[in-house]
């Protein structure tokens, strides 16, 4: 007995509905699906990296502004600011050094250490960094 071969001819759309799953997993489709997956993963990685760099840049700008205001406060008042609030609302003079206290790129408050324990005569302004904790080694100065 001879086996009958399936005819490969023109298939109507309702006849192909059952074959879509088979067509999806055909050889060249896996390469396409893999390429799309790799491209999507690369896009997510690069966008997260760019977002982190944007936040670090914003944090460095805020630190520069606060450090400049703290130096101006120290030069005028002849003492270090006791808290970050004194830079935007000074106690005796009505001169503001900052309109409002800037926050880091993650929306957190900056820490001011005056005088600096690391370098005498300087002022440290520190952000907790991406982790949000000063105890983790990702602080930004």
pLDDT in tens, 100-116: 888 888 888 888 887 77
**Which of 127, 132, 78 shows the shortest CA–CA distance to 103?**
127
Give the CB-side neighbour count of residue 112, counting CA atoms within 13 A. Answer: 26
What CATH architecture does domain 28-126 belong to?
Answer: 2-Layer Sandwich (3.30)
Residues 6+ apart with CB under 8 A from 20: none
Question: Measuring CA to CA, how many Å separate 110 from each of 10, 62, 87, 90?
Answer: 70, 9, 12, 18
The C-alpha angle 59, 63, 68, rounded to 5 degrees, equals 150
- Residue ranges of the domains in the chain? 28-126
Q: State how far the Cα of 100 lies from the Cα of 98, in Å rounded to an integer.
A: 5
> Is the Cβ–Cβ distance between 101 and 84 less than 8 Å?
yes
The dihedral built from the CA positions of residue 71, 77, 78 and 83, taken in this order, carries a sign that is negative
Global confidence as pTM: 0.65
Distance CA 57, CA 12 (A): 59
pLDDT under 70: residue ranges of the chain? 1-9, 11-27, 93
Q: What is the pLDDT of residues 41-52, one digit of tens each?
A: 999 999 888 988
């Amino acid at each position: 007995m001879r086996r009958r071969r399936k005819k490969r001819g023109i298939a109507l759309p309702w006849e192909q509905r059952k074959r879509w799953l088979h067509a999806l997993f055909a050889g060249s489709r896996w390469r396409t699906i893999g390429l799309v997956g790799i491209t999507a993963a690369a896009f997510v990685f690069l966008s997260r990296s760019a977002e982190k760099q944007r936040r670090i840049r914003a944090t460095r700008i805020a630190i520069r502004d606060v450090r400049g205001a703290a130096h101006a406060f120290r030069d005028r008042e002849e003492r270090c600011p006791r808290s970050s609030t004194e830079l935007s609302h000074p106690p005796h003079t009505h001169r503001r050094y900052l309109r409002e206290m800037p926050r880091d790129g993650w929306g957190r408050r900056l820490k001011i250490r005056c005088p600096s324990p690391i370098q005498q005569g300087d002022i440290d302004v520190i952000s907790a960094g991406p982790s949000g904790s000063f105890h983790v080694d990702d602080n930004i100065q």
